[in-house]
C-alpha cells in the first residue's frame, strides 16, 4: 500500500460486539484511498482496511471513559466502532473521513488513480473481455426476427441505452423513433434475452407516456413486431413491475401503463415490487436489526419481518420466476418495464435469464449478464450507490437485491453455479469501491465521456485471476441443470448472514467448508497433473510400474484442517440496554463496574460472580419474591 | 458433571444430611461447584409448596446455584405443534411467516438450550468446576443440558459410536420417558398431557452444532432424522418404554402387567445402524477429529430453522442431496 500516510493516530481501540472497553490499543492510518487500523498487541499483527469509497456515514458518539468514539458505517455493511484517545485526533479523523468518503467529481474516484502494474495492451484486453455481441450471437442473433441495430449509435433514440440494441427486424426506424417518443426517457422496448428453445423473448423498456388516454401508433407497432417475432404464441405478456397503485398514480403525470385495449393480443399484468425509497428504508431497518447487540430470537425475527427485506427479495424472485415460466412453459414473449426501466426491470430481466440459461451461471456468463442488463442498459450505479456526493434519495440497494436473489438461488441449488458466494461479495464490494471503471457513471454515454476504457481498469480480469478462490467446488457443470425452478414459499428465503453480518466473524460457522473443498480440488488437480506426468513416463520404463502411480488413486483429500481455536461467547442472556445511538449503557455509565460484554479466556467470569450476590438475596427471607435478573 | 432431580425441601425447608454429604464429597476443600437449575428461580421456589425445592446456600455452601429456565412439558409440545402447523400452512403469507415462526418460539427454545449447555460446559472447561444439573424430575431438561454439554465438550461424544453411547447413557438409561414424551407427535389432536419434544429439541441443537462445526461430528443429518423417526415409531426396541425398569421388568397397562423384556423380545436400533452397509449412510464425509471444545454461537443469526426436518415432506431435498454427493466425491478424491 501507499507508504505515505496522510494521518497517523495512536491510542485507538477497535470495538466489536464481542470485545469490551478493554480492547487493545492500536494505530489508525489514513491514506489517500484507505483507512487502515493496525493492532500489533497480540502475537499476530491484525490489520483492518476500509476503503474511503466504502464509507457511507461517519458519526461521533458521546464521550465514554475509554475515549472519543467514532462510528463508521460502510456500504458493504462493515460497521467499525473506533474509540480514539484524544479529542483533537478524533475530530481530525472525523473531518478527514467526511471529505475523503464523499468525492464530488467523477475524476476524484479511485478508478482514475488506481494503477496496478499492467501494460497498456493488457488493460485494453481486459476491457474487451466481455463482448455483448458474442452473447447475442450465442442466442442466435441476428436471425430472421431479431437484429442488432445501430440506430442509437449517437444516442439519438435514447441517451441512456447503449449504441447497439436488439430490436425486431420488423420494426423499422420510424417505428423505433416513434416509440421512443412515447416511452419515458426514450427507453424503447429492446431485447434482453431470446430463448432459443422456442423463440420466446424477454424484452424491456420503460413506462409508456400514455397518461389516461394517449396512444402512439409506432409504439403499438413496436409491440406487435415483438409479438410477431414469436409466431409460436398468439399473445405476449406486458409486465409492469410496479404496484398497481403507483402505476396508476403515474398516469396523472402523463405516464402510466399499457392499455390492453390499445395493443393487440397482449396480456397485461402487474407484479408489485416496491420502489427505490421503500427499498432504501427496508435495508436501513434490516441493518439496524443486524447491529442489535445480543438480541433475543424474538427481537431478531420480529425485526427482520418488520424490515420487510425478505418480502422484497421474494417479490423480485417471484417476478423473475414469472418471466421464466412465461417464456419456457407458455412459450410467450414478455415485455417488462417499471417506471424508467433501469431498476426493477434490470433485476427481473437478469434474474429470469439466470433461471433460464445455465450460461449465465458460469463466471463468464455472469459477467456478461451484468454488463448487458445492468451496465449497458443504464442502471444508474453512480446514483444508486452514492459514488459521489449527491441526492441521498437516489441511493437504493437495487443491485444488492439482485445479488441476494442469486445467493438465494445458490442456497437452493448448491451445484448449479460455477462461482461461489465470495464472487458475489467481491462484485458487490467493487460496485461500491469505484476501483474499477465498469460501474462508474450512470450509462454508456457517460462512461464514454469519462473515457473509462482509456483511463481505468475493468473488474473482470481482476476477478478471473482469483478464480481459484471464487469458484464453486460443487459445480456439476454446464449441462447438469437447465432451467431452475426455485421454491418461493416464504421459508425458502434465508437471512444472508454472510452479507449483512459479514464482518461479525463469530456468527458464521466456525469451520469453513468452502476452503476445505477448494483445497481438495486443487490437491486433486495437482495429483492428476502428477499422475499424467508419470503416465507419460510409463512407456519408457522396463520393469514394474513405479509405486507412486498405484498409490495415487488411494489418496483422498489430505488437506489439513487445523483444529480451530474458538472461544465461548457470552452465553449470559440479558443484553445491556442499547441506546438509540448504538452505544450500550455500559459504556457511558462511568461508575458502574458492570461489564456485560464478551470476555476472553479469563479464569473468573464476572457473570457468575455477580450472580453469587443475587442468590444470596434469594436465599434470604425476601418476601417480595422478585424474579431473578440473569 | 452430575445430574439429579430436585431436592425435596418442601415448605418446611427440610434438610438431608446424606444429600449434603454426597454433594460435599464431589468437591475438594475450598473448591466450588455450580448447580444449574433448569427452572426459573420463581418456579423453583414455588416447587417447595408441592414438596420440592432448591439447594439452600447455607446447607450447600460450596455450590453456587444458577437458574436457567428451559421450557418443557405442554408449552414445549405446543411450541412444536405450532411450528409444524406454520411450516405446513400452504397459505402462509410472506408478511406473516417470520412472526409466526417467532410466536411458536421453537427457535428461542433452541437458543436457550444451547446457551444453558454452553454455560455448563463453560463451568467445567473454563472454571474447572464441577456442575450439578437438575430441573424438577431430572428426566427432561436436565438430560437435554447434560447430553448437549457433553457433545460440546467431549470429542468422543461426537463420533458415531460415542454419540450412540451418549444417547444410551444420557437419555435412555437416564430415564427420559420416551413412551410418554414421544407418543403422537405434532399432527395428533390428542394433545397428551405428558407429551413433550425434549428429545427432538436435543436433536435440533445437535443439528445446529453440525452446521456451525461441519467437520466436527462424525455423523450427519441423516442420523438425526433417523433418531427422530425411531423415537416416535420404531421397528426396534431401543426407544421403547420410559426407563430401564420398564424395559426389564414390565409396566402396568391398565390393570394388566405388560412384560416388556425389551432385550429378549426386540432388536436394537444400534445393531442395525452399525452394520457396515447401513453405517456409511450416516457418516459425515467432512468429519475430522477435533480435540477441542466446540463453542457454538447462540446469536439469532447463527441459529437456523432445521429445514431438513421441518420441511422434509414439503420441499424436495434433491439438490441438497446432490450437493452432499459432490462433497463426498470431492473429499474421497476419486
Q: What ipTM did this prediction achieve?
A: 0.95
pLDDT at A630: 29
Neighboring chain A residues of B333 at a CB cutoff of 8 Å:
520, 523-524, 527, 555-557
Bridge partners, B192 (sequence order): none
Q: CA B134, CA B6: separation in Å to the nearest integer?
A: 6
Decide if A601 contacts B148 (C-beta within 8 A): no
C-alpha separations of A622 from B8, B65, B250 in Å: 21, 17, 47
Provide the grid cell at A548.
Answer: 507412486
Q: CA B128, CA A325: separation in Å to the nearest integer?
A: 61
Helix runs in A199-338, H state only: 217-228, 244-251, 276-291, 297-307, 309-328
Cβ pair A501:B301 closer than 8 A: yes
Q: Which residue of chain B comes nearest to A305, CA vs CA?
A: B98
Run of H or E including A147:
strand A146-149
Counting one residue from A and one from B, how many pairs have CB atoms under 8 Å apart?
Answer: 194
Distance from CA of B334 to the nearest CA of A (A): 7
Distance from CA of A27 to the nearest CA of B (A): 30
pLDDT at B175: 96
Question: In A, residues 376-435, which contact B (CB 8 Å cutoff)?
Answer: 412-416
Selected for mutation to probe chain B from A489, A614, A616, A623 (highest B CB count within 10 Å) is A489
Q: CA B324, CA B331: separation in Å to the nearest integer?
A: 10
Cβ pair A601:B126 closer than 8 A: yes
For A159-205, what is each residue's pLDDT tens digit?
999 999 999 999 999 999 999 999 999 999 999 999 988 999 999 99
Cβ pair A497:B97 closer than 8 A: no
Nearest to B279, CA basis, from B228, B233, B322, B219: B219
Distance from CA of A601 to the nearest CA of B (A): 8
pLDDT at B114: 98
pLDDT at A30: 96
Question: In A, residues 478-497, which contact B (CB 8 Å cutoff)?
Answer: 487, 489-495, 497
For residue A183, what is the DSSP state? Answer: B
Question: If you write DSSP's letter for every residue of B83-120 in order, what string do you get?
Answer: HHHHHH-TT--HHHHHHHHHHH-HHHHHHHHHHHHHHH
Q: Is A445 helix (H, G, I), strand (E, B) or coil?
A: helix
Helix runs in A171-275, H state only: 173-181, 217-228, 244-251
**Is A265 assigned a ligand-binding role in the annotation?**
no
Cβ pair B331:A557 closer than 8 A: yes
Q: What percent of chain A has pLDDT over 70?
A: 85
pLDDT of residue A18 exceeding 80, the answer is no
Mean pLDDT of A619-628: 36
**Is A131 assigned a ligand-binding role in the annotation?**
no
Q: CA A284, CA A281: separation in Å to the nearest integer?
A: 5
- pLDDT band, very low/low/confident/very high, at A568 (cuts 50, 70, 90): confident
Least confident of A59-63, A557-561, A622-626: A622-626
Helix runs in A295-420, H state only: 297-307, 309-328, 344-356, 363-370, 381-384, 398-412
Q: Which residue of chain A comes nearest to B46, CA vs CA?
A: A625
**Is A74 assigned a ligand-binding role in the annotation?**
no
Q: CA A296, CA A630: separation in Å to the nearest integer?
A: 14
Q: Is A557 on the interface with B (CB under 8 A)?
A: yes
C-alpha separations of A536 from A42, A529, A539, A540, A552 in Å: 50, 11, 7, 8, 15
Cβ pair A509:B292 closer than 8 A: no
Mean pLDDT of A267-292: 97
Distance from CA of B318 to the nearest CA of A (A): 9
pLDDT of residue A593 exceeding 50, the answer is no
Selected for mutation to probe chain B from A608, A612, A621 (highest B CB count within 10 Å) is A608
Residues 6+ apart with CB under 8 A from A334: A200, A201, A202, A203, A236, A237, A238, A239, A323, A326, A327
C-alpha separations of A497 from A425, B46, B304 in Å: 12, 42, 11
Least confident of A129-133, A437-441, A593-597: A593-597
Q: CA B155, CA B162: separation in Å to the nearest integer?
A: 9
Q: Is A415 a catalytic residue?
A: no
Nearest to B130, CA basis, from B33, B30, B248, B65: B33
Decide if A27 contacts A2 (C-beta within 8 A): no
The residues of chain B scoring below 70 in pLDDT are 251-259, 334
- pLDDT band, very low/low/confident/very high, at A36 (cuts 50, 70, 90): very high
Cβ pair A301:B327 closer than 8 A: no
Mean pLDDT of A211-230: 96
For A331-347, what is each residue's pLDDT tens digit?
999 999 999 999 999 99
Least confident of A240-244, A530-534, B102-106: A530-534
pLDDT of residue A491 exceeding 60, the answer is yes
C-alpha separations of A177 from A144, A216, A222 in Å: 21, 11, 10
Of A74, A216, A338, A405, the active-site residue reads A338
**Is A276 assigned a ligand-binding role in the annotation?**
yes
Run of H or E including B65:
strand B63-67
pLDDT at B135: 96
For B102, the closest of A298, A508, A571 (CB atoms) is A298
Q: CA B187, CA A481: separation in Å to the nearest integer?
A: 36
Question: In B, residues 59-88, which contact A (CB 8 Å cutoff)?
Answer: 64-68, 87
**Is A341 assigned a ligand-binding role in the annotation?**
yes
Bridge partners, B3 (sequence order): B133
HSE, CB side, 13 Å, CA atoms: give it for residue A571.
23
Amino acid at each position: 500500500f501507499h507508504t505515505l500516510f496522510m494521518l497517523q493516530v495512536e491510542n485507538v481501540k477497535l470495538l466489536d460486539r464481542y470485545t469490551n472497553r478493554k480492547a487493545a490499543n492500536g494505530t489508525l492510518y489514513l491514506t489517500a484511498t484507505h483507512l487502515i487500523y493496525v493492532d500489533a498487541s497480540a502475537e499476530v499483527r491484525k490489520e483492518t482496511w476500509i476503503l474511503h469509497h466504502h464509507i457511507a456515514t461517519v458519526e461521533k458518539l458521546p464521550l465514554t471513559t475509554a475515549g472519543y468514539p467514532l462510528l463508521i458505517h460502510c456500504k458493504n455493511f462493515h460497521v467499525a466502532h473506533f474509540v480514539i484517545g484524544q479529542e483533537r485526533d478524533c475530530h481530525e479523523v472525523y473531518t478527514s473521513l467526511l471529505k475523503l468518503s464523499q468525492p464530488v467529481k467523477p475524476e476524484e474516484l479511485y478508478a482514475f488513480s488506481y494503477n496496478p502494474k499492467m501494460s497498456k495492451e493488457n488493460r485494453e484486453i481486459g476491457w474487451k473481455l466481455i463482448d455483448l455481441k458474442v452473447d447475442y450471437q450465442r442466442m442466435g442473433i441476428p436471425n430472421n426476427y431479431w437484429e442488432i441495430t445501430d440506430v442509437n449509435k449517437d444516442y439519438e433514440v435514447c441517451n441512456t441505452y447503449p449504441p447497439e440494441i436488439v430490436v425486431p427486424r420488423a420494426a423499422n426506424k420510424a417505428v423505433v423513433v416513434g416509440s421512443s417518443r412515447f416511452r419515458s426517457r426514450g427507453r424503447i422496448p429492446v431485447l434482453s434475452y431470446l430463448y432459443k428453445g422456442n423463440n420466446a423473448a424477454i424484452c424491456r423498456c420503460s413506462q409508456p407516456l400514455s397518461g389516461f388516454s394517449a396512444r402512439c401508433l409506432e409504439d403499438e407497432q413496436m409491440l406487435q413486431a415483438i409479438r410477431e417475432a414469436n409466431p409460436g404464441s398468439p399473445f405476449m405478456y406486458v409486465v409492469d413491475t410496479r404496484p398497481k397503485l403507483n402505476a396508476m398514480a403515474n398516469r396523472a403525470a402523463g405516464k402510466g401503463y399499457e392499455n390492453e385495449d390499445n395493443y393487440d393480443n397482449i396480456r397485461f399484468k402487474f407484479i408489485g415490487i416496491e420502489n427505490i425509497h421503500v427499498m432504501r428504508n427496508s435495508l436501513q431497518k434490516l441493518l439496524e436489526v443486524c447491529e442489535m447487540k445480543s438480541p433475543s430470537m424474538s427481537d431478531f425475527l420480529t425485526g427482520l419481518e418488520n424490515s420487510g427485506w425478505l418480502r422484497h427479495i421474494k417479490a423480485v424472485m417471484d417476478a423473475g420466476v414469472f418471466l421464466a415460466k412465461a417464456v419456457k412453459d407458455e412459450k410467450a414473449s414478455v415485455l417488462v418495464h417499471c417506471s424508467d426501466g433501469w431498476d426493477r426491470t434490470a433485476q427481473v430481466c437478469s434474474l429470469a435469464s439466470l433461471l433460464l440459461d445455465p450460461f449465465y451461471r458460469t463466471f463468464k456468463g455472469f459477467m456478461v449478464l451484468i454488463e448487458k442488463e445492468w451496465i449497458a442498459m443504464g442502471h444508474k450505479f453512480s446514483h444508486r450507490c452514492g459514488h459521489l456526493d449527491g441526492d441521498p434519495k437516489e441511493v437504493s440497494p437495487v443491485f444488492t437485491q439482485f445479488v441476494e436473489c442469486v445467493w438465494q438461488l445458490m442456497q437452493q441449488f448448491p451445484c448449479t453455479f460455477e462461482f461461489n458466494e465470495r464472487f458475489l461479495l467481491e462484485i458487490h464490494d467493487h460496485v461500491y469501491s469505484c476501483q474499477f471503471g465498469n460501474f462508474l457513471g450512470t450509462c454508456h454515454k457517460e462512461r464514454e465521456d469519462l473515457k473509462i476504457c482509456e483511463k481505468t481498469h475493468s473488474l473482470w480480469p481482476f476477478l478471473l485471476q482469483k478464480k481459484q478462490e471464487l469458484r464453486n467446488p460443487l459445480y456439476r457443470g454446464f449441462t447438469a441443470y437447465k432451467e431452475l425452478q426455485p421454491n418461493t414459499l416464504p421459508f425458502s428465503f434465508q437471512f444472508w448472514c454472510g452479507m449483512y453480518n459479514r464482518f461479525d466473524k463469530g456468527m458464521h460457522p466456525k469451520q469453513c467448508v468452502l476452503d476445505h473443498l477448494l483445497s481438495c480440488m486443487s490437491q486433486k488437480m495437482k495429483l492428476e497433473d502428477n499422475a499424467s506426468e508419470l503416465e507419460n513416463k510409463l512407456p519408457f520404463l522396463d520393469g514394474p510400474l513405479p509405486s507412486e502411480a498405484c498409490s495415487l488413486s488411494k489418496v483422498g483429500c489430505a488437506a489439513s484442517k487445523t483444529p480451530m481455536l474458538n472461544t465461548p461467547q457470552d452465553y449470559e442472556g440479558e443484553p445491556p440496554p442499547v441506546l438509540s445511538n448504538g452505544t450500550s449503557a455500559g459504556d457511558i455509565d462511568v461508575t458502574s463496574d458492570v461489564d456485560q460484554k464478551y470476555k476472553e479466556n479469563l479464569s473468573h467470569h464476572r457473570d457468575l460472580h455477580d450472580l453469587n450476590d443475587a442468590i444470596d438475596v434469594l436465599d434470604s427471607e425476601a418476601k417480595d419474591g422478585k424474579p431473578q435478573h440473569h | 458433571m452430575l445430574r439429579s432431580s430436585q431436592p425435596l425441601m418442601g415448605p418446611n425447608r427440610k434438610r438431608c444430611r446424606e444429600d449434603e454429604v454426597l454433594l460435599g464429597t464431589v468437591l475438594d476443600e475450598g473448591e466450588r461447584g455450580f448447580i444449574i437449575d433448569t427452572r426459573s428461580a420463581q418456579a423453583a421456589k414455588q416447587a417447595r409448596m408441592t414438596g420440592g425445592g432448591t439447594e439452600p446456600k447455607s446447607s450447600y455452601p460450596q455450590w453456587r446455584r444458577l437458574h436457567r429456565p428451559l421450557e418443557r412439558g405442554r408449552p414445549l409440545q405446543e411450541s412444536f405443534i405450532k411450528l409444524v402447523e406454520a411450516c405446513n400452512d400452504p397459505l402462509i403469507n410472506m408478511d406473516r411467516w417470520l412472526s409466526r415462526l417467532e410466536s411458536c418460539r421453537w427457535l428461542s427454545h433452541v437458543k436457550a438450550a444451547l446457551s444453558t449447555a454452553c454455560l455448563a460446559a463453560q463451568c467445567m472447561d473454563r472454571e474447572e468446576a464441577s456442575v450439578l444439573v437438575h430441573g424438577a424430575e431430572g428426566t427432561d431438561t436436565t438430560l437435554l443440558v447434560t447430553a448437549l454439554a457433553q457433545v460440546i465438550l467431549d470429542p468422543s461424544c461426537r463420533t458415531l459410536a460415542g454419540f450412540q453411547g451418549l444417547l444410551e447413557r444420557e437419555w435412555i438409561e437416564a430415564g427420559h420417558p420416551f413412551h410418554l414424551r414421544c407418543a403422537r407427535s405434532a399432527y395428533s389432536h390428542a394433545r397428551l398431557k405428558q407429551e413433550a419434544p425434549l428429545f427432538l429439541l436435543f436433536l435440533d441443537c445437535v443439528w445446529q452444532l453440525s452446521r456451525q462445526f461441519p467437520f466436527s461430528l462424525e455423523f450427519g443429518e441423516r442420523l438425526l432424522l433417523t433418531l427422530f423417526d425411531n423415537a416416535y415409531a420404531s421397528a426396534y426396541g431401543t426407544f421403547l418404554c420410559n426407563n430401564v425398569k420398564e424395559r426389564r421388568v414390565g409396566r402396568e397397562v391398565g390393570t394388566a402387567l405388560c412384560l416388556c423384556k425389551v432385550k429378549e423380545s426386540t432388536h436394537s436400533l444400534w445393531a442395525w445402524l452399525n452394520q457396515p452397509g447401513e453405517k456409511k449412510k450416516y457418516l459425515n464425509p467432512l468429519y475430522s477429529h477435533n480435540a477441542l471444545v466446540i463453542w457454538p454461537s447462540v446469536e439469532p443469526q447463527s441459529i437456523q430453522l432445521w429445514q431438513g426436518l421441518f420441511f422434509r415432506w414439503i420441499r424436495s431435498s434433491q439438490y441438497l442431496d446432490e450437493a452432499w454427493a459432490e462433497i463426498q466425491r470431492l473429499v474421497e478424491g476419486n
